[in-house]
A and B are shown apart, each in its own frame.
Chain A
Amino acid sequence: MRSLSRDKYIIAGVITLGIFFLGLFLGLAIEGKRVNYIESVSRKQNLDFSSLQLQYAFIDQLSQEKNCLAVQKTFEQNINNLESTRIRLENFDRESTLNKNELDILKNEYTIAQIRYWLLGERTKKLCGADIVNILYFFSDEKECPDCDKQAFVLTYLKKKFKDKLLIFSFDSKFESEPMIPLLKKTYNISTYPTIVIEGNPKSKFQGKDTILNEICSYYMEKTEDCTVK
């Protein structure tokens, strides 16, 4: 009978499990920190929204249209912050294991925030006469929407091209725990993905760069260089 290093097999197993659990706890600790981070950012962004709402109310009631430009800058900045946090939240959610519920609640908050900003944007367009086009983008997972990657890529590109003159609000169509999502889907008669709604006009299936560009340019009062040069 040959010798068997039984002790070493057991010790190696214990150390391996030790390292595994260390990794697991580190992962969970990071997840907790991520949730805290998003929560604190979200509180700050809620405050920002209230402040912005107040600024518009101020302009509206005291006819302070001359301040429109400055407030619109804040509006744009807030929306950008909101979008980058939303993307971060999506990534965190993908990697999370135990904090799904907390992250889902946060996702809910972000969906509501997007809708609030969209509605506020609509109001300010009238109030300040801003030359802005809104796009609502409804996406789904890879199974239901293999073209969503492409659509998101094109929209990101157009956002970078038109910057503050184009506002894009993305909605996860699967996120039906927020009642506003089915409501919006019903309003615009959305059943396939990707669907984009440009200034209230829904377009289902993947839309190429030029199609969207032509459409949004038709809404601008002042045609920029990007609308003429393709």
Chain B
Amino acid sequence: MPIPIYVKIMLWTTYLISLYFAIFWFLVMVDGEYNAKRRKLKKFPYVSIVVPAYNEEKNIITTLNSLIKLRYQKNRLEIIVVNDGSTDNTRNLVEKFIAKNNSFDTKLINKKNEGKGAALNNGLAVSKGEYFVCLDADSIVTNDALQKILPCFSDDDIAVALPLLKVDKPKNMWQRMQWLEYLVNMFYRKLMGKLNCIHVAPGPFSVYRKSVLEKVGGFDVNNLTEDLEITLRLQSKNYRIVQLLDAEVFTLAPKSFKELYKQRSRWYKGSLINAFKYKGMTFNKKYGDFGFIQMPTIFIQGLIAVILVSSLAYYGLKPYVKTAYHSILINFDFFTLIKTFKFDFNLLDLNYTAILVAVVMLAISILVLTISHSETKERVAKHGTLSLIFYLFFYFLVIGFIWLGIVIDFAFGKRHKW
């Protein structure tokens, strides 16, 4: 089937932009070793961990248990659970937990439901720590995480340090694909950190310097993705954000397409809305690489995904749909078609340009996947080869599909609900 010239130009542009970004980050990778500088902790700084919880009865206790196992001086640590108007048993469970573990400084704040940003601000207001940690109630921390993260605040302009985030015990294909995605994202974020280009400090165990957080005014209470907004705000004020690959935190990942769609739809919409909020940073020399590579990436990643997925679906599937539809014309007499099928193949029939593009893209993907495994100290194919194959050939379609949904939502002016 002929592809119109404007579609060809669009696809080529998409390919070249993606290739350009891949090569750029490859150059960043090979340009010297980078690890966040660490200084020895002379004393244990006071740390406040805030756990915002809305209907988290299933996970909250596991999360809190992982916190009391942290290897850190007990009297230098406070845990603040902000119950954001849960309608389930969260409040009771936390109260029981506090009664049982009274040797720990754990507080519970009950408030009406206002969203995560407001809950974090409530925690921030009462916190006493020098460092402020937010922890989603569906995440588990390894016990040496704090000791590994805190020494990274070696310079005064470092505002946030991020742990290595992994998907907790992936059980099905959706979670296994996300397990791989997280590894790649962590490696990618480490590269971003090299140029101070990190644009999001995710919910699970991001450690903030509290004084900075207070100076910039805390979290945005009316935001789909308050974690992304605060990071962009910190970037706009030229603070540094570092990514570590040794302090591990595990998080629950959506286990079905429906859950994944809901989560990603919020994330990606949030990233677009907030990128528009800080659009002045784009291609602004004042913000260095962040303005030149990261801001444009946030803007065009969705566009690239949508173009790729829609053209692939349209031009890849249309011939098959057509044949299926045409089969009515011959009363589904496939026997005649198969019986006389002649194998007429010539090497020149292959579309070498398309093959070259596919090979280059696949090679880059495999390279990134391999390095991501080694950087995060994970064994390749830990969760099976099948998930690797699905991740390489199928997952980008899923993400593209979600972006397509977002474009449609924006086009019809649909607001996102939490």
Q: Within 8 Å CB of A34, what residues of B?
A: 348
> Which of A20-28, A67-75, A110-118 forms part of the interface with chain B?
A20-28
Is A48 close to B, CB under 8 A?
no
Pairwise interchain contact A12-B287, C-beta atoms closer than 8 A = no
Q: Which residues of A contact B353 (CB under 8 A)?
A: 23, 26-27, 30
A13 CB-CB contact with B under 8 Å = yes
Contact of A15 among B23, B344, B352 (CB under 8 A): B23
Tell me the residues in window 353-387 of chain B with beta carbons closer than 8 Å to chain A beta carbons.
353, 356-357, 360
Q: Say yes or no: A5 contacts B348, CB within 8 Å.
A: no
Complex: A122 Cα to B23 Cα, angstroms: 62
Contact of B336 among A4, A11, A160 (CB under 8 A): A160
How far in angstroms is the closest Cβ of chain A from B138? Answer: 35
How far does the alpha carbon of A153 sit from the alpha carbon of B315 in the complex, in Å?
Answer: 19
User: Is B286 close to A, CB under 8 A?
Assistant: yes
A92 to chain B, nearest CB (A): 8
A91 and B27 alpha carbons, distance in the complex (Å):
39
* B330 pairs with A9, CB closer than 8 A: no
- Which of A88, A153, A161 meets B326, CB within 8 Å? A153
B288 at the interface (CB under 8 A from A): yes
Interface size on B, residues (CB 8 A): 41
| Interface residue SS majority, chain A | helix
Determine if A149 and B19 form an interchain contact, defined as CB atoms under 8 angstroms apart: no
Q: Which residues of B contact A11 (CB under 8 A)?
A: 23, 27
Q: What sequence of 0s and 1s flags, for each residue 269-294 of chain B, a beta carbon within 8 Å of any chain A beta carbon?
A: 00000000000000001111110110
Category for how many chain A residues contact B: 35 or more
In chain A between 71 and 128, which residues have their CB closer than 8 angstroms to a CB of chain B? Answer: 84, 88, 91-92, 94-95
Residues of chain B with a CB closer than 8 A to A208's CB: 329
Contact A3/B289 with A23-B353, A27-B353, A157-B337 known, Cβ cut-off 8 Å: yes
CA of A13 to CA of B292, assembled, Å: 14
Indicate with 1 or 0, residue by residue over A166-206, a CB within 8 angstroms of chain B CB atoms.
Answer: 00000000000000000000000000000000000000000
Contact of B196 among A2, A20, A154 (CB under 8 A): A2
* Min C-beta distance of B174 to chain A, whole Å: 33
CA distance A29 to B175 in the complex (A): 44
Find out whether the CB atom of B287 lies under 8 angstroms from the CB atom of A2.
yes
Residues of B within 8 Å of A223, CB to CB, are: none
Given contacts A23-B353, A30-B352, is CB(A16)–CB(B19) below 8 Å? yes
Count of CB-CB pairs between chains A and B under 8 Å: 92
- Closest-CB distance, B144 to chain A (whole angstroms): 32
Q: Is A43 an interface residue (CB 8 A)?
A: no
Q: Are B292 and A9 in contact (CB under 8 A)?
A: yes
The answer for the CA separation of A30 and B351 in the assembled complex, in Å, is 9
Residues of A within 8 A of B352 (CB): 26-27, 30
A30 and B348 alpha carbons, distance in the complex (Å): 7
The smallest beta-carbon distance between B98 and chain A, in angstroms, is 44
A8 and B288 contacting across the interface, CB-CB below 8 Å:
no
Tell me if A157 and B288 are in contact (CB < 8 A): no
0/1 per residue, A27-40, Cβ < 8 Å to B? 10010011001000
Q: Taking the complex as formed, is B96 at the interface, i.e. its CB lies under 8 A from any CB of chain A?
A: no
Chain A residues contacting B16 (CB-CB under 8 Å) are: 16, 20
B318 to chain A, nearest CB (A): 11
**Cα–Cα distance between A208 and B326 once the two chains are bound (Å):** 11
In whole Å, how far is A219's beta carbon from the nearest beta carbon of chain B? Answer: 20
Pick the contact of B329 from A1, A20, A22, A154 — CB < 8 Å? Answer: A154
Query: Whole-angstrom distance from the CB of A7 to the nearest CB of chain B?
Result: 8
Q: In the complex, which of the residues B2, B24, B340 contacts A12, with contact meaning CB atoms closer than 8 Å?
A: B24
Would A88 and B195 be within 8 Å (CB), given that A1-B286, A2-B238, A160-B340 are in contact? no
| B2 and A26 contact, CB distance less than 8 A | no
* Contact for A26 among B24, B285, B289, B356, CB less than 8 A: B356
Tell me the minimal C-beta distance from A209 to chain B in angstroms: 6
* A4, B356: Cα distance in complex, Å: 32
**Residues of the B chain whose Cβ atoms lie less than 8 Å from the Cβ of A20:** 16, 19
In the complex, the answer to whether A8 meets B329 with C-beta atoms within 8 Å is: no
Residue numbers in B under 8 Å from A33 (CB-CB): 348
Whether, in the assembled complex, B407 has its beta carbon less than 8 Å from a beta carbon of chain A, the answer is: no
Beta-carbon contact of A2 and B20 below 8 Å: no
B289 x A2 contact (CB < 8 A): yes
Across the interface, name the chain A residue whose C-beta is closest to B27: A8
> In the complex, A19 Cα to B361 Cα: how many Å?
12
Provided the pairs A12-B23, A160-B340, A161-B336 are in contact, do residues A150 and B349 lie with their beta carbons within 8 angstroms? no
B28 in contact (CB, < 8 A):
yes
CB pair A157–B289 under 8 Å, yes or no, is: no
* Interface flag for B31 (CB, 8 Å): yes
Q: List 19 A-B contacts (CB under 8 A).
A: A1-B286, A1-B288, A2-B286, A4-B288, A5-B289, A8-B27, A9-B24, A12-B24, A13-B20, A19-B360, A20-B16, A22-B356, A23-B357, A26-B353, A88-B346, A94-B2, A149-B326, A150-B329, A208-B329
Known: A22-B356, A88-B346, A209-B331. 9 other contacts (CB 8 A): A2-B196, A12-B20, A13-B20, A27-B353, A37-B346, A149-B326, A153-B326, A157-B337, A209-B330
Binding site for A on B (CB under 8 A): 2, 16, 19-20, 23-24, 27-28, 31, 195-196, 238, 285-290, 292-293, 322-323, 326, 329-331, 333, 336-337, 339-340, 344, 346, 348-349, 351-353, 356-357, 360
The 3 closest A-B pairs by CB, nearest first: A2-B288, A12-B24, A160-B340
